[in-house]
Amino acid sequence: DTGVSQDPRHKITKRGQNVTFRCDPISEHNRLYWYRQTLGQGPEFLTYFQNEAQLEKSRLLSDRFSAERPKGSFSTLEIQRTEQGDSAMYLCASSLRTSGIVDNEQFFGPGTRLTVL
Amino acid sequence: DQQVKQNSPSLSVQEGRISILNCDYTNSMFDYFLWYKKYPAEGPTFLISISSIKDKNEDGRFTVFLNKSAKHLSLHIVPSQPGDSAVYFCAASDPYNQGGKLIFGQGTELSVKP
């Protein structure tokens, strides 16, 4: 296992189309996160899962966005009716949450760059 | 509401000298801090972290300092190398109230010149 992988790496779509991205985390990691990054900004949290349970969704995540992690392994992020403002880098990260107070560091994938025309 | 701020968008340093990247935060509930490095077209790569119960953590050429009273942390790179040229993000988490998510600063682009 070489790390977090994301597919596709690049996606160009027309406004109004639906897109779906996939993330495969590090195999033993139980937490999976989605972030979005726009030019000149740091990654912004969208949502995260512990195993198959979606524990939190950011208010940035409109109703057009949905994420799943059906078997607690890979995850998909779908954007319906894309808008030009959705153009960004979508990053996936995973971590191993163990008992204790402090979470472990998150390992990021290479990202999917979305361009909405 | 920018809870984590990196006020310097860019920094240029001579090879072999010290690079100091700064980060300020506003949420006193943050108790775990991380630095990530990002090259173009790649995801962020974890560098070093520090818990709020410490004021310093060192890993090779990288040292992170935390000043809780000032809500300030810094990353020192000594000596700086051209391969360190990248965008550096600081991030914070509040696991008690905000789960596992990280709050990132805007990033500082470091350029190390030979």
Report CB contact under 8 Å: A43, B101: no
For residue A41, give the nearest of B44, B101, B106 by CB distance: B106
Q: Residue B90: phi, psi to the nearest 5?
A: -95, 155
Q: Looking at this protein, which amino acid is placed at residue A28?
A: E
d(CA B87, CA B11) in angstroms, rounded, equals: 10
Whole-number pLDDT of residue B100: 79
User: Which residues 4-43 of B have a C-beta within 8 angstroms of A?
Assistant: 4, 6, 9, 31-32, 34, 36, 41-43
A33 Cβ contact list (under 8 Å, min separation 6):
A45, A46, A47, A48, A49, A92, A93, A94, A95, A106, B100, B101, B102
- Give the residue among A75, A85, A65 at the shortest CA–CA distance from A18: A65
Report CB contact under 8 Å: A56, B104: no
For residue B100, give the nearest of A31, A58, A108 by CB distance: A31
Mean pLDDT of chain A: 91
In A, what residues contact B, Cβ < 8 A?
Answer: 4, 31, 33, 35, 40-45, 48, 50, 55-56, 58, 91, 93, 95, 97, 101-103, 105-111
For residue A111, give the nearest of B43, B49, B89 by CB distance: B43
Q: Looking at this protein, which amino acid is placed at residue A52?
A: E
Report CB contact under 8 Å: B102, A43: yes
Q: Looking at this protein, which amino acid is placed at residue B19?
A: S
- pLDDT band (50, 70, 90) for residue A98: confident
Cα of B66 to nearest chain A Cα, Å? 16
Could you report the per-residue pLDDT of B40-93, keeping only the tens digit for each?
888 999 999 999 999 999 999 999 999 999 999 999 999 999 999 999 999 998
- Give the residue among A29, A56, A53 at the shortest CA–CA distance from A45: A56
- Which candidate in B5, B66, B101 is best for mutational testing of the A interface (most A CBs within 10 A)? B101
Cα of A117 to nearest chain B Cα, Å? 20
Whole-number pLDDT of residue A87: 97
Whole-number pLDDT of residue B98: 63
Whole-number pLDDT of residue A89: 96
Could you report the per-residue pLDDT of A47-94, keeping only the tens digit for each?
999 999 998 899 878 899 999 999 889 999 999 999 999 999 999 999
Report CB contact under 8 Å: A43, B46: no
- Burial status of residue A113 (CB atoms within 10 A of its CB: 0-12, 13-18, 19 or more): middle
Share of chain A above pLDDT 70, in %: 94
Q: Kindly state the helix (H) or strand (E) to which residue B23 belongs, with its residue range.
A: strand B19-25
d(CA B8, CA B39) in angstroms, rounded, equals: 18
Whole-number pLDDT of residue B6: 97
Two structure tokens written together for B1? 């509401």
Could you report the per-residue pLDDT of A24-54, keeping only the tens digit for each?
999 988 899 999 999 989 999 999 999 999 9
Whole-number pLDDT of residue A102: 52
Whole-number pLDDT of residue A103: 56
Q: Give the C-alpha distances (Å, rounded to integers) separating B112 from A22, B19, B47, B88.
A: 35, 9, 17, 13
Length of chain A: 117
Report CB contact under 8 Å: A41, B41: no
